[in-house]
Structure 1
Amino acid sequence: MTNSSTSLQSKLSLNVYVTPMRPMVGTPPQGPGDEPIWSPMSSTLIYGEHDAILVDTLVTFDQVDALADWVKSFKKRVTTILITHGHSDHWIGLQQLLKHFPGVRTMARPAVRDRAQFEATNPTLRKYWQGIFPGEIGENPTVPDGTTETFVELEGHRIDLIDIGQGDTEHTTIMHIPSIAAIVAADVVYNQVHMMTGETDEQSRQKWMDNLDRIAAMNPQIIVAGHKRVGTSDGPENIAESKKYLADFSRVVKENETVEAIVQAMLTLHPNRDNPRVVWHSARQAVAKRT
């Protein structure tokens, strides 16, 4: 937890909740590390003396209930739930979370809200999520409200909602909290977890790396990744490490023809990150894009 204050404003603090890797229902493994596992995920609580803002929601009923209990332990009034991007694992828990915090404002920038709405109504994606976590998520998920606001205030402190663009999906919002030199970076930055590149090609990965440079130029001292290993620090070194991973992946894809060779090369370069299943998925998508 990091605190910052001014003479006229209450302190802001930031704390991160991380739910660990979780087994899911999925296709049988095709090689070492391809067991069906969902990556660890983070939700961030930004709070002052009285009020708080929560960023992202987790997925399953038990994850969301545990998150809500954790939030309640801070004894703050939650005013807003911000959503960073439209991938369902970052907002699909909203319906369950609002049972704990009824009437709380939900906010997502327009492109993020549109992607969430697409995922909420697309039959294939709905079947996918119900299939990998059967009975563990709601059948009719609540989509966050869209907003054109570019910042929110918390007890006199500004939190900027920056449409950074490309991360592991095309439209991502990061939350910049200047008063504590912190950025909640969503899935633009990863922290000791294999990076999901399945929606990218070489060109969009370059945009992703450029966005990592943009984040680094903001000189954050705290950088919260959307997927982070339990117990890891939220230091700025994760920006450069994420950029290196993406550069490695693009090079490895060029140098290797098969899914298995790409996976082996990436696991040799990055042997200690959580959830190699993600590497298998990303490698399959990279090979498929060649045809």
Structure 2
Amino acid sequence: MRGHGRNLTHIYVTHGHGDHLFGIGQVTAAFPGVRAVATAGTVAGARLQTADDYIEGFWGRLFPGQIPDAVVPDEMEGDRILLEGHELRVIETGHTDTAGGTVLWAPDAGLVVAGDVVYNNTHMYLAETDAASRAEWVAALRRVQALGADHVVAGHKHPDHDDDPVIVQQSIDYLADIEKTLASTADAVEFYRTMLARHPHRANPGSLWGAAKTLKPSK
């Protein structure tokens, strides 16, 4: 941004997961005066994820010594950000891969910044979901689809793929396959292998294995 002569005014945080929060401090240091903002639901999730016990018990174990001092975004007033005369609209999506999900819609650019509501050719994070919340997620994806965006930027993206809005339907299809596979498999290993066979080219199979262990726990 600085190399292109841009003046950054806001950091918008789509949801409260730590991997979307921990870089805020570095960005605000690079752009003095920038403000990190989010909805009330995202701020609540951020406070949970940045608490010492969560950082030490989860993020710190995954990335020892690498988690910077956490910054919680400010709760925004209203649901719009004005950028150089263009309106950016916050759309709350309910429970997607976590509670309090949102997307940011830039209608003048035909652009959806989708956070973790939409996944781009990576296995979706499902550890915080159940059947009801996954149905809510599908409904949220259909609302995003109805916007008719030209570009959809996902929070988790296969590096070889672009921001084609077809990824919204692909995310819907993936969740449908999750339900079919849950119903037709006996345990976590069978679930994992079946989903991997159905989606062999998606990145991050570790996320799929995490889903398998959560959704098909050993009895």
Range of TM-score over shorter length = over 0.9
Q: Is 2:155 the counterpart of 1:239?
A: no
Cα pair 2:45 2:99 within 8 Å, conserved: no
Indicate the residue corresponding to 1:216 in structure 2.
145
Q: Is 2:64 the counterpart of 1:145?
A: no
Cα pair 1:92 1:143 within 8 Å, conserved: no
SS of the aligned residue for 2:116 comes to helix
User: Which of 239, 247, 257 matches 2:186?
Assistant: 257
| Structure 2 unpaired stretches of 5+ | none
The separation in 1 between residues aligned to 2:189 and 2:20, in whole angstroms, is 29
- 1:198-254 CA deviation, whole Å, 9 max, x = no partner? 111111111111111111111111111110011311011001100000000111011
The separation in 2 between residues aligned to 1:141 and 1:124, in whole angstroms, is 12
SS of the aligned residue for 2:211 comes to helix
The separation in 2 between residues aligned to 1:73 and 1:226, in whole angstroms, is 23
Indicate the residue corresponding to 1:194 in structure 2.
123
Cα pair 2:28 2:35 within 8 Å, conserved: no
In the TM superposition, residue 124 of structure 1 has moved relative to its aligned partner by 3.5
Indicate the residue corresponding to 1:82 in structure 2.
12
The separation in 1 between residues aligned to 2:187 and 2:77, in whole angstroms, is 44
> Percentage identity across aligned positions?
34
In the TM superposition, residue 97 of structure 1 has moved relative to its aligned partner by 2.1
- 1:76-118 CA deviation, whole Å, 9 max, x = no partner? 0001111000010011111222221222111011110011011
Q: Is 2:61 the counterpart of 1:131?
A: yes
In the TM superposition, residue 74 of structure 1 has moved relative to its aligned partner by 2.1
Letter in structure 2 aligned against 1:276: P
User: Which of 280, 283, 287 matches 2:209?
Assistant: 280
Indicate the residue corresponding to 1:167 in structure 2.
96
Give the TM-score normalised by the residue count of structure 2.
0.95
Indicate the residue corresponding to 1:99 in structure 2.
29
Indicate the residue corresponding to 1:121 in structure 2.
51
Give the TM-score normalised by the residue count of structure 1.
0.72
The separation in 2 between residues aligned to 1:154 and 1:103, in whole angstroms, is 15
The separation in 2 between residues aligned to 1:72 and 1:249, in whole angstroms, is 42
- 1:19-43 CA deviation, whole Å, 9 max, x = no partner? xxxxxxxxxxxxxxxxxxxxxxxxx
Number of aligned residue pairs: give it.
219
Change (3 A) 1:122 1:246: farther
User: Which of 249, 269, 288 matches 2:198?
Assistant: 269
Cα pair 1:150 1:161 within 8 Å, conserved: yes
The separation in 2 between residues aligned to 1:170 and 1:257, in whole angstroms, is 28
- 1:119-151 CA deviation, whole Å, 9 max, x = no partner? 11150443321221122222x311111113200
The separation in 2 between residues aligned to 1:219 and 1:124, in whole angstroms, is 38
Indicate the residue corresponding to 1:157 in structure 2.
86
More helix by share: 2
The separation in 1 between residues aligned to 2:146 and 2:183, in whole angstroms, is 29
